[in-house]
Structure formats: structure tokens, C-alpha cells
Amino acid sequence: MSIAAQGTLTKIMVAVGGSESSFSALNYAIDFAQAGPRCVKALIVQEALIPPELALASGHTLGLLADKLAHAAERIADQTERRVREVCARRQTSVEVERQTGHVSECVVAAAAQASLLVLGRQGHRVDRLGLLGSNTESIVRRAHKPLLIAPGQHRRVRCTLVAYGGKDLGESALATGREIAEALCVPLDVLTVAATTPAGAAIQERARLSLAATTSAPTFSVKSGDPAAAIIACCTGDTLVVMGAYGHSRLYHMVLGSVTEQVVRFAQGPVLLSAKPVTPTGQ
């Protein structure tokens, strides 16, 4: 069984900019592409810092500044595209390259509607002093309704998939996604539950055992206590892919990430895949 065989995560979109973590993201996308027949699109956004209509309405001076900024953004996009093609050639993988002009987060969120997996770098050029996510990545994470992989600054081959399993809601989605990826990449699958007591955690994991009964691999199960984010981070290394639920889609979903999710995304050494449910018609 593979990701391709199940018809999921077959269209991968990776947002590539000037940061090293975005090229780490590209390499993770290529890893998935090489694990089975699936397509990868690299999206390069040439950021429009001053909207053309504003430059036109504001006079000659601002118009000249807008032109200079646009030319600089175009040069960066050209350099990024050349490097993307060099990486793909070196790894002998065909990747479609698409360029757009606009605001990065808006372009990525809109383009992701056609993808089944979105891959992003953890950091951009501009990093919030209070956290480790670039501002564009932070915005996209909060708005996307797709499985979303956040890549660290350094790419490493995934050697293990760790599913942080809570037994309900997004936990079931994370379990299914983690299983598919582990089988496609031929790596071990570990299922971790953080609970107040070992018996409580074992009861939660019974559902995971039933769900994975037909899997071709032999997953391992473990229960930890204490702070959930700290326990998850302690169980993974730089070559571990953590798969977990992201957040519920309440009326505040644009502003609030689950605290455990946010801490793991910020501080895990390796990549983190957020398995999010599609938004409901009411947004609840």
C-alpha cells in the first residue's frame, strides 16, 4: 500500500522563496515524489511590495520606487527559479515551476486549493522575534485547510514517522496520514499518546491499534506523561517526521493555533506535518 495507491497526497505544492528552509521544503517534497508516482509543483511568488494602483495614484516618486522594488523582486525570483531547477536536476526529479506576483501568503493559500499536500519552510527572511516561524509561514499555517508539512532549515532523510495521537477529531486523520507516509517511505511508524496516566493513554491507543491492524508494517506504541509538547519533542530527532492534528476550525481559527501544535512546530528538530480537517460550510 502506498500514498499513490490510496489516491491521497498525490499533488504536492511547495512554496519556495529565498530562505534555506524553503529549499529544505523543496527537498522534502522531492523525497515524497520519489517514493511514488505523484506530481510536485514549486510555487515562486514575486512579492508585490507596493500595489501598482497605489503607485500610479501616488505620483512619480513612489512610482519610481515601485519599479525598483519590482525589478529587485523579479531578480530574486529569477535566482530562486534557477536554484530550484538546479536542485531538481541534481536529484533527477521533474518539478513543475509556477511563478506568481502578489502577496506571498495570499498566493500560496489560493494555489494550495488545487494541492493535496502543501510544503513550507519553517522560516522566511523575516523572522518574528517572539517565535521561530516566518511571518508568511505563520499566516499560511493559520489559513490553510490542507495537510501541511513544515520543514526545518536543514533537510534530512526521514527515518521514522511519529504520530502524536489523541484518539479523536484530528488524531484519526493524523494516524491515517502518518501510516500512509510511513509505508510509502518504508520507515518505521511510532504512535505516541501523552496522557495523565499510563492506563488512560493505553485506553486511548486501543483505538489506534484497531485502526492499524491491517497495516503492512509493525507500528510501535508508547505512552508518556507530562507536558504534551515537551513529550512529543523529546521523542523525535532531526530525521523524525512528526504527524499531528493542527487545530479545530472554530470562528477564531484564523487567529488561534492549538498551543501544543504551535510549540511542536516551532521547536521540533525535524519536519512536522499538520493534518487538518477541511473547513465546514459554517466555519465551525
Express each pLDDT in 123-151 by its tens digit.
654 433 333 455 677 778 778 778 999 99
Closest C-alpha to 151, from 3, 12, 14: 14
Closest CA to 29 of 117, 126, 129: 117
pTM: 0.83
Q: Are strands 148-151 and 272-275 parallel, antiparallel or unpaired?
A: antiparallel
Q: For the chain, which domains are there?
A: 3-151 (3.40.50.620), 160-271 (3.40.50.12370)
Which range is least confidently modeled, 7-16, 18-27, 131-140, 256-265? 131-140
CB atoms within 10 A of CB 174: 25
H/E segment holding residue 41: strand 39-47
C-alpha cell at 146: 490542507
Q: What grid cell was written down for 156?
A: 534530512
The residue whose grid cell reads 515524489 is 33
Question: Cβ distance 139 to 148 under 8 Å?
Answer: no
Answer with the residue of higher pLDDT: 128 or 260: 260
Higher pLDDT, 116 or 283: 116
Summary mean pLDDT of the chain: 81
